Structure formats: structure tokens, C-alpha cells
């Protein structure tokens, strides 16, 4: 029995030897890596689900049902959910609002108002994926935009914006502007 334990210990040591050796010889990133590679943060599905829960709670406080979209930093959809009784067009609107917010790093209510008053940005409304209606809100973590939430069906642009801003996880460092 004692020899069996020794053999198991020796086998484990032999298995770990390459791992330990590579850990000791790993080199720090080259200075060039800092120029060409940037660390990023990604929203998880669990975060997207909790953001939707918080948005729906705010909507319920306003006696509203909403469609909710959560996208990652590259605009890819993580979550898309249609609220009970909310028109089907609101689901796509919420996705486009979230995409617009992450793409421009700006809440869509503010972006839409600026676009209407500034001749240089009025054409933003003509880009096919952008939707300049309130309800899209970027999500930030450690100063980086890591995604966005989009809300539609909350009873108007101001309500959608208010609900979108409620979708944050400050205890995890995920905030809205």
C-alpha cells in the first residue's frame, strides 16, 4: 500500500513537471504586445440576464412592459427579450437602440437630440443599423464600454431612457452614464 502511494505521488509529480517548468520559463509580454494587443472585458450571459431583470423591475415600477436587448462591445446580441403584450416591432427596436448606444458610446436619447440640432450629425439617422430613439444606454466597466442595453415599449423615449439607465450592476462595477 505504501509503495502504491509513492507511485501515485511520483506519477503526479511527473505529470505536473512540464506545467511547472513552463510556468517558470514564461516570459512577460513584449513591449510590442502593449502596442498591438489591448485587454478587454466581456459581459457574461449572467450579467445580461440580471441587467434585463433590473430593467424590467424599473419598467414595472412605471406600470410598463418592455422589450430588452443586451449587446456586447462589438454589438453582438447576448440577450433579446420581448415583453408580454409589447408590439413585435419593439424587439427589433430595442436591439438597434443597444447597437447604436454601443457603437456611438452615447445614450440614444442624447444622441438623437444632438443629431437633430447639429447639421454635421443629422445624417446619423440615415445609417441602416442606428436608431436615434431614447432607450439605448452604453454599459461601462473600468472606463471601457463593454456593451449596451436597449429598451423599447416603455411608453416613450424618456421612459425607455430611464429604464435603460436602471439596467446597471454597480456592485460589479458595471455602470451607465
Q: What is the pLDDT of residue 116?
A: 86
CATH class of residue range 45-175 = alpha beta
Which residue ranges make up each domain of the chain?
2-36, 45-175
pLDDT digits (tens, 9 = 90+) for 36-81: 888 889 999 999 999 999 999 999 999 999 999 999 999 999 999 9
Distance CA 145, CA 105 (A): 7
Distance CA 89, CA 8 (A): 63
- Strand segments (E) across 82-169: 136-141, 144-152
Those residues whose C-beta lies under 8 Å from the C-beta of residue 94, and which sit 6 or more positions away, are: 66, 67, 68, 69, 80, 135, 150, 151, 152, 153
| Average pLDDT of span 85-105 | 96
pTM above 0.85, yes or no: no
pLDDT higher than threshold 50 for residue 92: yes
Distance CA 152, CA 140 (A): 21
Query: Are residues 71 and 98 in contact, defined by beta-carbon separation less than 8 angstroms?
Result: yes
Least confident residue range of 2-11, 66-75, 166-175? 2-11
Least confident residue range of 6-20, 71-85, 124-138? 6-20
pLDDT higher than threshold 70 for residue 128: yes
Q: Which of 139, 126, 131 is nearest to 111 (CA)?
A: 131
- Strand segments (E) across the chain: 67-72, 77-81, 136-141, 144-152, 174-175
pLDDT class of 85 with cuts at 50, 70, 90: very high
Amino acid at each position: 500500500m505504501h509503495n502504491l502511494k509513492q507511485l501515485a505521488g511520483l506519477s503526479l509529480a511527473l505529470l505536473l513537471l512540464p506545467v511547472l517548468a513552463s510556468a517558470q520559463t514564461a516570459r512577460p509580454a513584449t513591449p510590442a504586445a502593449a502596442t498591438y494587443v489591448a485587454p478587454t472585458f466581456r459581459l457574461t450571459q449572467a450579467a445580461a440576464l440580471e441587467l434585463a431583470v433590473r430593467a424590467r423591475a424599473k419598467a414595472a415600477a412605471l406600470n410598463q412592459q418592455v422589450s430588452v436587448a443586451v449587446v456586447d462591445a462589438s454589438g453582438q446580441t447576448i440577450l433579446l427579450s420581448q415583453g408580454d403584450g409589447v408590439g413585435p416591432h419593439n424587439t427589433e427596436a430595442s436591439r438597434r437602440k443597444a447597437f447604436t448606444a454601443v457603437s456611438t458610446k452615447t445614450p440614444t436619447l442624447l444622441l438623437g437630440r444632438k443629431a437633430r440640432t447639429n447639421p454635421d450629425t443629422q445624417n446619423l439617422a440615415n445609417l441602416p443599423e442606428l436608431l436615434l430613439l431614447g432607450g439605448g444606454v452604453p454599459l461601462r466597466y473600468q472606463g471601457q464600454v463593454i456593451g449596451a442595453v436597449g429598451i423599447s415599449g416603455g411608453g416613450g423615449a424618456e421612459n425607455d431612457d430611464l429604464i435603460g439607465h436602471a439596467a446597471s450592476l454597480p456592485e460589479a462595477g458595471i455602470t451607465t452614464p
